[in-house]
Structure 1
Amino acid sequence: MLAILIKLESRGPVFYYSYRVGAGYRVFKFWKFRSMRSDADQMLDSVKNLNQYQSSSGSSGIRRRWRRRACAKPAWRPARPASSRLVDQRGRIICEQQYRFQRKAAEAPAFMKIVNDPRVTRLGRFLRNTSIDELPQLYNVLRGDMSLVGNRPLPLYEAEKLLTDEYSKRFIAPAGITGLWQVSRRGKGGDMSEEERKALDIEYARTYSMRKDLQIIFKTIPALFQKENV
């Protein structure tokens, strides 16, 4: 029935797959019911500005914070030699704290999450809000690509941004259909920051167990019905 409805609404295949990175950086085909237009991947660049995790949305706040703070200049600290002073793009001398804030504001977000994505079909919104579009991932579980519970397998362009020692720990845990960050906020409304999501992934990788997985599975049922169109 879903296959017929998907075909009736828009041209394209019933199933959609993309290459995802799971445990140990293993790459595999990740399957879903198609909930977007068939040319959604080609439209990705045109909707990146709608990303909820877009750092530019928070960069103005970051700039306001460091502008309000004068750089501390302890009397005991010797002045930097001219050759080692930090200079911004406009040629102004800045302190190390300002430099770090600017670098943080300029970083591209690791994750992609678009509320009310214009590429999603009308049926696709229903499939996503009820998580029915995720059912084909049971095939990935049977193949051994994923587990029922784990950290969400990431698209290649997202995984590439998490190769540092700090964040690579998330890939120790198995990839899963549901996981800690999904049940922590999904279905309850409100935004989760990129840093919160990274922290939850790392926490799960450090502490996952059969008992914790069962707790997450029970919490997944009410989290299936979410309030956001993502």
Structure 2
Amino acid sequence: MRVAFLSPDIQEADEFKSEFGQNIEVKHFDNPKFFLKSLENGDLYDIIINAASLGSPLGINLLREVKQKFSLSTPVIWLASSPVPSSIQRMLMETGVSDIFHKQPDDREKLSTRIDYLAKAKKMETNSRIESLYAYKYPLGKRVFDIVVASTALFCLAPILLVITILIKLESKGPAFYYSYRVGTGFKIFKFWKFRSMRQDADQLLDSIKDLNQYQTRVIEKKEEGYTLCTDCSGMGSECANKLIDESGKIICERHYIESKKTKTGAAFIKIANDPRITRLGLFLRNTSIDELPQLYNVLRGDMSIVGNRPLPIYEAEKITTDEYAARFIAPAGITGLWQVSKRGKGNMSESERKALDIEYAQKFSLKKDLYILLKTVPAMFQKENV
């Protein structure tokens, strides 16, 4: 029996081969292109085991692509690093996943039993039955509401949209509209449209201004007697109790080292106050949220909803792949949402607060709640904060 094992971690693949590979042939793929090429060449696998994170290149979007391109009846097993909420389970089942196991030792026996069973019954087609039970369904009432509101708004705002387009073209070189790839409902990637409010080279300048990120954790350090004294120990008026030697051979505090590692990883969200890349007209468009109006086109296409969780750039979505935080992607992607009307533009909004608001909406969204958020969006548009 042949097993395709998808994971970016070579050591994890070797451990799986060592534990389960005695009676099966395991082929490891750490690149989605190699796996797709293998399927295109006609390679057949009796089981596909995915041990990657949801938002990684080997994750849920790869499973969707496999399902769309190839008519496979192959059982797909998802190996999760932590318990998977029912909402995430439905999303995985929709992409063809038939079983979900955890990487913890308690589930290893269950996984072994499942593999043994599939080895004896290679042609069992359980995927279609499970998909019908767990398929994610977009609420019909919400979709009708979106189409009516988006169509009406585009018709009424057409003259204003034309004037804005002309003004953008007159102020600076480049197209009036801008799109970037965003991750929406169920980690689906789509083109996200806006009026251009930045310089043409805005994306290239992002790395140089990441220190201005409102969500970025900063580690304040203090030098004392040849080593770095962390702020906690400094506040206590004592030397750091647990010292380590860093890559440069310098003595640092263990607590400081851990915090600095977190900082290097980077915040999941990026929002920059007084962004120097924004044009003068773009500043007005952003402060009034007029730059978001082209997303009404995304709503008509079905990429987004009027109200939902903000679709994230790919580099942000890749950092929110744990089962706890991935729950935000169950909700429709929206032009406006709960976190925008709750604390929009306020510097004291932490990353964890925003994630909590996104998850709250994903778990409790309804047409009544959408109308409430939509009504609160109007005053939120006329804000004083420069975001």
Same fold at TM > 0.5: yes
Paired residues, number: 214
Structure 1 residue 191 displacement after superposition: 2.8
Tell me the equivalent position of 2:101.
none
Q: Does structure 1 retain, via aligned residues, the 8 Å contact 2:341–2:373?
A: yes
Tell me the equivalent position of 2:219.
59
Going from structure 1 to structure 2, the CA distance change for 1:125 and 1:92 (only over 3 Å counts) comes to same
Structure 1 residue 162 displacement after superposition: 0.5
Going from structure 1 to structure 2, the CA distance change for 1:88 and 1:195 (only over 3 Å counts) comes to farther
2:178 is the counterpart of 1:38: no
The secondary structure found in structure 1 opposite 2:166 is: helix
Structure 1 residue 125 displacement after superposition: 0.3
Mapped to 1, the partners of 2:174 and 2:344 lie a distance apart of: 29
Identity of aligned residues (%): 66
1:86-101 superposed matches below 5 A: 87=244, 89=246, 101=259
Q: Which fold has the larger relative contact order, with Cα–Cα distance below 8 Å and residues 6 or more apart in sequence?
A: 1
Q: Does structure 2 retain, via aligned residues, the 8 Å contact 1:66–1:101?
A: no
1:32-181 superposed matches below 5 A: 32-55=194-217, 58-60=218-220, 63-65=230-232, 68=235, 87=244, 89=246, 101-181=259-339
Scaled by the length of structure 2, the TM-score of the pair is: 0.51
Q: Does structure 1 retain, via aligned residues, the 8 Å contact 2:184–2:312?
A: yes
Going from structure 1 to structure 2, the CA distance change for 1:88 and 1:120 (only over 3 Å counts) comes to same
Which structure shows the bigger proportion of residues in strand conformation?
Answer: 2
Structure 1 residue 53 displacement after superposition: 1.5
Going from structure 1 to structure 2, the CA distance change for 1:125 and 1:93 (only over 3 Å counts) comes to closer
The secondary structure found in structure 1 opposite 2:173 is: coil
Tell me the equivalent position of 1:21.
183
Mapped to 2, the partners of 1:64 and 1:107 lie a distance apart of: 20
Q: Does structure 2 retain, via aligned residues, the 8 Å contact 1:129–1:228?
A: yes
Structure 1 residue 67 displacement after superposition: 5.5
Mapped to 2, the partners of 1:125 and 1:93 lie a distance apart of: 43
Tell me the equivalent position of 1:5.
167
Going from structure 1 to structure 2, the CA distance change for 1:67 and 1:209 (only over 3 Å counts) comes to farther
Structure 1 residue 175 displacement after superposition: 0.3
Tell me the equivalent position of 2:34.
none
Structure 1 residue 92 displacement after superposition: 6.0
Going from structure 1 to structure 2, the CA distance change for 1:168 and 1:66 (only over 3 Å counts) comes to farther
Gaps of 5+ in 1: 71-84
Going from structure 1 to structure 2, the CA distance change for 1:5 and 1:64 (only over 3 Å counts) comes to same
The secondary structure found in structure 2 opposite 1:221 is: helix
Which letter maps to 2:377? T
Tell me the equivalent position of 1:81.
none
Mapped to 2, the partners of 1:52 and 1:15 lie a distance apart of: 26
The secondary structure found in structure 2 opposite 1:117 is: coil
Structure 1 residue 60 displacement after superposition: 2.1
Aligned-residue RMSD, C-alpha:
2.6
Which letter maps to 1:65? D
Gaps of 5+ in 2: 1-162, 222-229
If you compute each CA radius of gyration, which structure gives the higher value, 1 or 2? 2
Going from structure 1 to structure 2, the CA distance change for 1:127 and 1:98 (only over 3 Å counts) comes to closer
